[in-house]
């Protein structure tokens, strides 16, 4: 705590989103099991919180990822600034500054000057403030005396609203008041075991801004390669990989939950595979029981999402921008069949339900806990050496295995490409995770191999189309089959030419002098 006009609090919390009433979920599904552990629960006074969020016309706070609100709880009025901080897999750690007010009118000049960006004129900004949106909710909960820690466990039920639109708020939040972060994770795991929850990295302020600006249904692409500096340690490089995968996962999962946009599901599948490959790659060095457990969970979980490959193929076939659009426009029965298969996949697998499943949340909690507690430090050696000492060997091993599976002088057919797909993707993921430490030539090396992966995706779509022709009554099925067969032949020929270029590329990790920092 600082002796300043504003009270500063370092906030560490885990936030869950729920699909049903958070109050009912807490009382019926969580509290009884927390009490069974021997933890002591102290009921907190219920609060009705009225929150108005302010910003400038240029959205200055939003641009700097700062949340600023005025909160009223009965006769108590308080203004709060929350700094950007860090959110890793749902573990929120950020600065919070609170100042009491006599009336619900914001006054930025009451906060310490040092909390703001240096170039901000606070007096001028204060005159520009206007209310952007509100979050009004009822808060109930308990102070939990868990192991050697005190954790505030509360539920928020209400809504976020602009002048034109609103969205429901149903959340369970766990905030560490005193004690150990591992106790916070232990309580979070218990909540996940007994309630249908989804780990959330989206604050109430962020939801308000999403309502204000409208949903941006664009896929947020991964970088070309994971940004890393040359001397980064092995454990730090692993942390960057996990953070990247989880951020991508949670961003697109959230957009799917809020909008139902099916294209977000493929990005979730990509994130799960990236997270799995990150754990697989670093497991030999960071080996510990927790890493092994997470690896097994991810292996099982990735298998549960394997149906996304068929969904991606169907979406590609049905896209008006695909290479098949003109052909399919002549065969409405095929289009109807493919649309039915797509709808059937979504109905059978219920992805929204899957995101609230225990396994999904357990993986995110497990990954966040790994990054926070670093359990490998008491089980393994070499975690603090530069990852560059491992990178060349890891990349060479993957490349050699790939060469053995698709020799340069071998003519590959569609079945051969299907057989090496997983190995090729794993090798390219390893490159994504490590290539940034090497010269820029990695882009030239990776480009043709990435084109081959795109070719495999097109090939899988064509094979689904080929099977669909057999399952559909067409006026001229022979002509349709011949068209698909010719496309498969042409595609494989292009992939073969691309492969001949790809295998001639210089191995970008081979010529780097490790003594040059």
What structural domains does the chain harbor? 7-213 (2.40.320.10), 234-502 (1.40.20.10)
Residue 5 has pLDDT above 50, yes or no: no
Residue 190: HSE in the Cβ half-sphere, 13 Å Cα cutoff: 22
- The whole-number pLDDT of residue 514 equals 46
Between 234-259 and 358-373, two packed helices, what is the crossing angle to 10 degrees?
150
Which among 350, 324, 188 has a CA at the least distance from the CA of 265?
350
pTM: 0.90
- The whole-number pLDDT of residue 6 equals 55
- pLDDT category, 10, cuts 50, 70, 90? low
- The whole-number pLDDT of residue 96 equals 83
Of residues 8 and 166, the one with the higher pLDDT is 166
- The whole-number pLDDT of residue 407 equals 87
Contacts of 478 (CB under 8 A, 6+ apart): none
pLDDT in tens, 237-287: 999 999 999 999 999 999 999 889 999 999 999 999 999 999 999 999 999
CA 445/CA 434 separation, integer angstroms: 14
Average pLDDT in the chain: 91
- The whole-number pLDDT of residue 90 equals 55
- The whole-number pLDDT of residue 94 equals 64
Residue 432 has pLDDT above 60, yes or no: yes
- The whole-number pLDDT of residue 209 equals 87
Of residues 204 and 89, the one with the higher pLDDT is 204
- The whole-number pLDDT of residue 207 equals 87
H/E element, 479: helix 477-502
Of residues 93 and 209, the one with the higher pLDDT is 209
Residue 515 has pLDDT above 70, yes or no: no
Two tokens at 386?
């530069």
Residue 66 has pLDDT above 70, yes or no: yes
Q: Please state which of the ranges 43-47, 410-414, 428-432 shows the lowest mean pLDDT.
A: 410-414
In three-state secondary structure terms, 425 is helix
pLDDT in tens, 322-346: 888 899 999 999 999 999 999 999 9
Two tokens at 4?
């300043």
Residue 199 has pLDDT above 80, yes or no: yes
Residue 3 has pLDDT above 90, yes or no: no
pLDDT in tens, 474-495: 888 999 999 999 999 999 999 9
């Amino acid at each position: 705590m600082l002796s300043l006009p504003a009270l500063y609090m370092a906030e560490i919390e885990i936030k869950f989103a729920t699909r049903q009433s958070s109050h009912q979920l807490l009382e019926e599904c969580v509290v009884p099991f927390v009490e069974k552990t021997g933890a002591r629960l102290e009921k907190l006074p219920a609060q009705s919180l009225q929150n108005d969020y302010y910003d400038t016309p240029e959205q200055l706070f939003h641009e700097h990822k700062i949340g600023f609100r005025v909160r009223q709880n009965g006769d108590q009025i308080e203004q709060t600034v929350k700094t950007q901080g860090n959110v890793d897999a749902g573990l929120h750690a950020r600065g919070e500054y609170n100042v009491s007010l006599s009336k619900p009118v914001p006054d930025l000049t009451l906060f310490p000057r040092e909390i703001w960006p240096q170039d901000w004129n606070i007096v001028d900004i204060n005159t520009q403030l206007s209310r952007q949106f509100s979050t009004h909710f009822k808060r109930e909960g308990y102070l939990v005396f868990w192991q050697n820690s005190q954790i505030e466990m509360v539920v928020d039920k209400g809504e976020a609203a602009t002048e034109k639109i609103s969205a429901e708020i149903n959340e369970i939040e766990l905030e560490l008041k005193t004690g150990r972060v591992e106790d916070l994770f232990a309580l979070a795991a218990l909540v996940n075991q007994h309630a249908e929850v989804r780990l959330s990295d989206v604050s109430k302020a962020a939801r308000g801004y999403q309502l204000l600006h409208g949903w941006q249904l664009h896929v947020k692409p991964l970088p070309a390669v994971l940004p890393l500096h040359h001397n980064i340690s092995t454990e730090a490089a692993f942390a960057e990989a996990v953070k990247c995968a989880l951020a991508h996962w949670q961003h697109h999962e959230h957009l799917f939950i809020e909008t139902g946009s099916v294209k977000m599901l493929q990005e979730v599948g990509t994130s799960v595979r990236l997270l799995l490959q990150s754990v697989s790659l670093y497991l030999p060095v960071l080996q510990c029981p927790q890493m092994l457990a997470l690896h097994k969970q991810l292996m099982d979980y990735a298998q549960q999402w394997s149906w996304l490959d068929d969904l991606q193929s169907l979406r590609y076939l049905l896209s008006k921008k695909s290479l098949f659009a003109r052909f399919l426009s002549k065969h409405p029965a095929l289009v109807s069949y493919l649309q039915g298969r797509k709808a059937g996949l979504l109905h059978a697998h219920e992805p929204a339900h899957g995101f609230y499943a225990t396994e999904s949340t357990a993986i995110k909690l497990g990954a966040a806990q790994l990054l926070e507690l670093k359990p490998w430090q008491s089980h393994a050696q070499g975690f603090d050496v530069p990852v560059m000492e491992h990178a060349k060997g890891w990349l060479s091993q993957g490349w050699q295995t790939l060469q053995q599976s698709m020799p340069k002088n071998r003519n590959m057919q569609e079945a051969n490409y299907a057989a090496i797909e997983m190995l090729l993707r794993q090798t390219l993921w390893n490159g994504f995770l490590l290539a940034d430490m090497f010269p820029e030539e990695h882009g030239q090396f990776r480009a043709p191999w990435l084109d081959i992966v795109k070719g495999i995706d097109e090939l899988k779509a064509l094979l689904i189309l080929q099977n669909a022709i057999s399952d559909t009554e067409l006026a001229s099925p022979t002509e349709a089959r011949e068209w698909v067969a010719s496309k498969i032949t042409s595609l494989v020929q292009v992939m073969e030419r691309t492969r001949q270029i790809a295998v001639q590329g210089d191995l970008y990790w081979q010529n780097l002098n490790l003594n040059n920092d």
